Structure 1
Amino acid sequence: MKQTDTLAAVRLPATPGAPPARHTRMVPALRSLAAHVLPPLAILALLVGIWEILGSSPGAALPSASRVIEDSWELIANPFFDNGGNDVGLAWQILASLERVAYGYSLAVVAGVALGVLVGQSAWALRGLDPLFQVLRTVPPLAWLPISLAGFQDSNPSAIFVIFITSIWPIIINTSVGIRNIPDDYRNVARVIRLNGLEYFWKVMLPAAAPYIFSGLRIGVGLSWLAIIAAEMLIGGVGIGFFIWDAWNSSLISDIILALVYVGVVGFLLDRLVAAVGNWVTRGTSAG
């Protein structure tokens, strides 16, 4: 056997005191996790502690955190109960609201991106439509509800329309800004290689404007969730908004607070979902 083969066959001992490779990889991951998780947990614990102290004081108008858990434990422990009609668990209430949001928001995404591309590409469309958009987007969401109820004669499509008309404006505006900010070099290259309209749309326009578009989509999904909660308070039926209003009429303050916590968590998850999709599509260039 050659000398080089003999040396290669000998396993060299690990350097004394050197950490294993697996441990070396885990340390940065744990530090990153701690940096992102510990600060919000600390703030949350502080706020819950203040809430508990204030709610436990004599004469407090609102219940403490422990009292909310005690009063609404059945809702927490059984989120999927169904006793028929509107008497269902919070999970079904939230899913009913999310279904309406899915319909209204999806329509807003399709129409908003299409109109945003039109306004961003055409100066004539910008001059003609932008003033109309600026007027309509200032109308409060609930102001559309009587008109939609009169037009659709049904509460469910009316709520979907309110979501649509509320969330479409940031999508239009951000998309149009993204289209107008496409570098001229991209347009010139598209002309040189003679891309047709459809190829230019998919290969140049959408990728270049995607960070702006997803910024609008994140704002839009937040507005969608806000709009459905407010609309459901008036239209009734199954939904987290009506659950909150019905709890108020029954003086169930603890149930209201629990529902508000769920609303906030779901809204946060919706925003994180759209942000994650945007980060994946734009390879990390989308805002937020």
Structure 2
Amino acid sequence: MGILMGASTICKQIFYPIVQLLKPVSPLAWFPIGLVVFKDTGLATIFIVFITSLWSTLINTSFGIASLPQDHKNVAKAFGFSKMRYLTKILIPFSLPHIITGLRLSISVAWLVIVAGEMLSGGAGIGFFVWDSWNALSLEKVISAIIIIGVVGLLFDKLFTYIESKVAYKA
């Protein structure tokens, strides 16, 4: 959908308002819908992680596709590139840094929502551990879990920063 929004003005006019409408909805609001649809707390948690972390990647993909310079498009036409060759040799390589940045933002949102989702669904995970420790009045366990959550988030960010540096266009 991000590629469509970036490549087509009509698709952007149709989908962008929907994205902007759904993007700010809290994971807590999506959880009951996930429960009704999937009838399972684990699947509902996966659903809320997906639906709340999707937007950053979608928007950045759209931006990356839309910001392709006209010169790049002209070169592809001049050399008679097929649609597949244009996609794989020009559009995706040019847009990849934007897509990776979107994924980097999405993984940070996903990590936040995973913890919150585990608190809601209960039973397992670091979010449940934090909630259970709070209920047991074990502040040292809560603080330890917060540090672990932060370190894992930092590692995810470093991983995506590294990937981003490998695909970035260097003039």
TM-score class, shorter-chain normalisation, is over 0.9
| Correspondence for 1:158 | 44
Alignment partner of 1:202 is 2:88? yes
Name the CA shift for 1:278/1:284 in 2 (closer, same or farther; >3 Å): farther
Deviation per CA, 1:242-288: give whole Å up to 9, x if none. Answer: 00000011111100000000000000000111111121122568xxx
Alignment partner of 1:144 is 2:30? yes
Equivalent runs, 1:112-261 vs 2, <5 Å: 115-261=1-147
TM-score (norm 2): 0.96
Q: Which amino acid aligns with 1:146?
A: P
Q: Which amino acid aligns with 1:139?
A: V
Deviation per CA, 1:165-199: give whole Å up to 9, x if none. Answer: 11110111111111111000000011111111111
Could you tell me how far apart the structure 2 residues matched to 1:224 and 1:197 are? 33
Could you tell me how far apart the structure 1 residues matched to 2:119 and 2:143 are? 15
Q: Which amino acid aligns with 1:254?
A: E
Secondary structure of the residue that 1:195 maps to in structure 2? coil
Q: Which amino acid aligns with 1:195?
A: F
Q: Which amino acid aligns with 1:218?
A: R
Secondary structure of the residue that 2:123 maps to in structure 1? coil
Q: Which has the higher helix share?
A: 2
| Correspondence for 2:150 | 264
Name the CA shift for 1:221/1:284 in 2 (closer, same or farther; >3 Å): farther
Deviation per CA, 1:68-99: give whole Å up to 9, x if none. Answer: xxxxxxxxxxxxxxxxxxxxxxxxxxxxxxxx
Q: Which amino acid aligns with 2:120?
A: L
Alignment partner of 1:273 is 2:156? no
How many residues were matched structurally?
Answer: 171
Secondary structure of the residue that 2:81 maps to in structure 1? coil
Q: Which amino acid aligns with 1:202?
A: T
Percent identity between matched residues is 42
Could you tell me how far apart the structure 2 residues matched to 1:276 and 1:268 are? 12
- When Rg is computed on C-alpha atoms for both structures, the one with the higher figure is 1
TM-score (norm 1): 0.58
Could you tell me how far apart the structure 2 residues matched to 1:259 and 1:120 are? 40
Could you tell me how far apart the structure 1 residues matched to 2:133 and 2:104 are? 30
Unaligned runs of 5+ in 1: 1-114
Could you tell me how far apart the structure 2 residues matched to 1:284 and 1:257 are? 42
Instruction: Indicate conservation of the 8 Å contact 1:142/1:227, yes or no.
Output: no
Secondary structure of the residue that 1:276 maps to in structure 2? helix
Secondary structure of the residue that 1:224 maps to in structure 2? helix
Unaligned runs of 5+ in 2: none
- Could you tell me which of 154, 157, 168 is aligned with 1:282? 168
